[in-house]
Every structure is written in structure tokens, then in C-alpha cells.
Amino acid sequence: MIRAAVLAGIVLALPAGAQDRRTGYDDMSPALQAMQDDPMNPAAFWLIDGEALWSEPAGTRGQSCADCHDAAEDSMAGVAARYPAWDEEQAAPVDLNGRIALCRDRHQGAGPQDRADPDILALLAYVTHQSRGMPLTPDPDPRLDPARARGETLFTTRMGQLNLSCAQCHDDNSGGHLAAALIPQGHPTGYPQYRLEWETLGTLERRIRGCLTGVRAEPFAPGSADFIALALYLQSRAAGLQVETLPIRP
Amino acid sequence: MSVLINVPETAAPGEIVTIRILIQHPMETGFRTGRDGALVPRDIIESVACLYQGEEVFRADLFPAITANPILSFHLRAGETGRVEFVWTDNSGVTARDGRLLTVA
């Protein structure tokens, strides 16, 4: 009940035009949609690796993810739809990428992790896959609210030498074009994603880095509080849209 | 490097089936420079062949303009039960192979 009320609040707070929200998938050509719908798309390689890593012992403790979390199909269902979430130990929000890196470090004893490490990326793809088709459901923990508000501020703040905000492109001009690229509404429904431009799987963080360098702004440091704040806002802005896996983007 | 091969498990004699292979490969063109300014060495698959019933039924030559992680798809007429076997070779001469059994009944 409380959760429903919080969600309703978030939906009401959406910007104008949010009634017809479109994901990047909706905006893709039928050929690219068919590629995403095909289970044999290149993102599958990361999913396969992630599934294997899930039950592989790692770190000084020699424990696997499965040793603590059992079958990912059960324990991880819906997790990606809810993240970012609150981390008690750091008393700060953490995204799923960071959570997996923390489990490797804290619980497996594998030391601090590089968020962009291929194994972390594969595990991220595998964990996210367990939320396939589920609606994004922002975590109602009120301790996340300040960061989410900070994210909204960042979203509407002009940045970089081109002096543009995320909102100017993704709220005001979505559906328009930037050179040949269609400007999507910028929903974080499909991450990690296989981008044809990257020719590999990449995170939301990498995608946003691309937008920031595009406006010649300084990208956020990996895993920075500002990036996670932005991810929290993007997630509530996209509440109710479905988690896409295995996502493809141009 | 993994590979995904899509061969139907069974087919009727004479049936036309779709065969697909997705190969995990960087397909590095050899034209790009790395962070140090030096050329990244070319690393591409140069040929992919498919064998069935002791015969080559498909062959493709790949070039630097082909995407990373390429997928190839073609049709095959089912004859007898046998392996649909792929053999692919990169520009340093390294060959890999993998296949699936196609049961014709």
C-alpha cells in the first residue's frame, strides 16, 4: 500500500508528455527490434558468461554467488527492476553494478573491483536478465530521496561547453534528431546493453558518459554519487516501463 | 571466445532449414589506432565454412568492414542425419570448429 502510494507520487511527478513514454526499443527500426527479440543476439555471450560465473567460487573465501544467493532465477528476480538501493554499510545509495562489485569485495574477499571489469559486466547482465519484462519499481526507501532529488537537479542542469541539460534533449527534444541519431526519451530500461556503435556490452554509466562528452562536459567519475543520483532519477522517471534484456541499441 | 550455433534438432527429408552461427570475435579492422597512437593489429575471421554429409554447403569470406560478433545465416536442404559442422579461420591462421547434430526423420 505504502509502495503503491510512493509509486503514484513518482508517476505524478513525471514531466509533461510522460503519458506516452517511449523506450529506446520503441524508437528502434523493426530490424533492430528483431535483433533484440532474437535470443541469439550478441549480448547472449555476456549472459552465458554471467551464468557460469554465478556458480564459480571466487576470492579468498572461495565462495560463489550461488553459495549465498542460491538460484538467481528466484533470488535475483526483480532486483534489477528496483535498483539503485540503499547500502547500509556505506550509508549511501548503490547501483546494481556497485552492489555486485561490493559482493565480490565484501563477501567473496576478491578485493575492490573495477566496475567495468568484464566479469562484473557479465554478472550484471545475468542478474538483470532475471528481471526481464518486469516493470521498473523504484525502491521506496526514503533515505534515497535526497539523492533522487539531486539526480533531478542534475538532469535539468545545463552542462558542458554546449551548455545543454539532459532534459533539453531527452524531455524537450525527444523524437527529434541529432545528426542522424534519433533523440530517445533516455530511459534506463535496457542496461547493460549491446550497442552496435560500441560493438560490445556497456553500462548506463558508459552511455551517459557518451552524452556528457557529446556536450563537452566532464563525465562523472565511475560510480560517483552524482552518477548514482542521476540513475535514481532516471529510474523513477521511467517507473513502470519494463526491463529489457538482452537489449540492443544502435 | 564462444560461439552460438542454431541448427534445428530434427527435420524431414528434403526440408529446407535455417542454419545460423554467431561467433564472438572482436573483428578488429587493423585500421584503428589505440590510446598510444599505434595501430591496433588486425584480428578478423577471414573465412567461415559449413560442412554437411562430407560436403561443403556454405562458405563466406569475411573482411575488415564486417561487424564484431558476426552472425551468419543460410538455408540448407536436409538430407540424412549428420553433423552440421562449422570451420572458421582467423587472419593469423588459427582454425576453430564446432557443430550440431541434425536428425533427419
- State which residue of chain A sits closest to B73, comparing Cα positions: A40
pTM of the full predicted structure? Answer: 0.92
| Separation of first and last alpha carbons in chain B | 33
**Alpha helix positions (H), chain B:** none
- State which residue of chain B sits closest to A195, comparing Cα positions: B68
Angle at B68 between CA B52 and CA A100, to 5 degrees: 110
Q: What is the predicted ipTM? A: 0.89
A194–chain B nearest CA distance, Å: 11
- State which residue of chain B sits closest to A49, comparing Cα positions: B2
Copy the grid coordinates of residue A196.
552496435
Reply yes or no on whether the pLDDT at B17 is more than 70.
yes
What confidence tier does A123 reach under pLDDT thresholds 50, 70, 90?
A: very high
pLDDT at A217: 97
A42, A48, A49 ranked by CB distance to B69: nearest: A42
User: Within a domain: residue A8?
Assistant: no
pLDDT at B57: 97
Reply yes or no on whether the pLDDT at A2 is more than 80.
no
Q: Look at B68 and A199 and tell me if their CB atoms are within 8 Å.
A: yes
Q: A145-155 vs A225-237: helix axis angle to the nearest 10? A: 90
User: Within a domain: residue A6?
Assistant: no
CATH of the domain at A102: 1.10.760.10
What confidence tier does A4 reach under pLDDT thresholds 50, 70, 90?
A: very low
Radius of gyration for the alpha carbons in chain A, expressed in angstroms and rounded: 18
Mean pLDDT of B48-75: 96
Reply yes or no on whether the pLDDT at A136 is more than 90.
yes
How far is residue A57 CA from its own chain's centroid?
Answer: 26
What confidence tier does B94 reach under pLDDT thresholds 50, 70, 90?
A: very high
* Number of domains observed in the structure of chain A: 1
B6, B20, B22 ranked by CB distance to A42: nearest: B22
User: Within a domain: residue A1?
Assistant: no
B62 vs A12, more confident: B62
CB proximity B24 to A under 8 Å: yes
User: Within a domain: residue A10?
Assistant: no
Q: What is the mean pLDDT of chain A?
A: 93
CB proximity A73 to B under 8 Å: no
User: Within a domain: residue A232?
Assistant: yes
Q: Among residues of chain B, what percentage have pLDDT more than 90? A: 98
Dump pLDDT digits (tens) for A158-171.
999 999 999 999 99
User: Within a domain: residue A35?
Assistant: yes
Query: Across the beta sheet with B71-77, what order do the strands follow?
Result: B3-6, B16-23, B71-77
B22, B27, B68 ranked by CB distance to A40: nearest: B22
pLDDT at B99: 97
What confidence tier does A13 reach under pLDDT thresholds 50, 70, 90?
A: very low
Reply yes or no on whether the pLDDT at A174 is more than 80.
yes
What confidence tier does A19 reach under pLDDT thresholds 50, 70, 90?
A: low
User: Within a domain: residue A122?
Assistant: yes
Long-range pairs for A148-156 at CB < 8 Å and ≥24 separation? A148/A229, A148/A232, A148/A233, A148/A236, A149/A233, A150/A225, A150/A226, A150/A229, A150/A233, A151/A229, A151/A230, A151/A231, A151/A232, A151/A233, A151/A234, A152/A233, A154/A226, A154/A229, A154/A230, A154/A233, A155/A230, A155/A233, A155/A234, A155/A237
User: Within a domain: residue A2?
Assistant: no
**Number of separate helices (H) and strands (E) present in chain A:** 12, 7
User: Containing domain of residue A36, as a range?
Assistant: 22-250
Place of cell 528476480: A77
Mean pLDDT of B51-67: 96
What confidence tier does A37 reach under pLDDT thresholds 50, 70, 90?
A: very high
Copy the grid coordinates of residue A7.
509509486
Q: Look at B4 and A40 and tell me if their CB atoms are within 8 Å.
A: yes
pLDDT at B1: 75
Catalytic, A68? Answer: no
pLDDT at A8: 41
Strand B71-77 with B82-90, pairing? unpaired
CB proximity B6 to A under 8 Å: yes
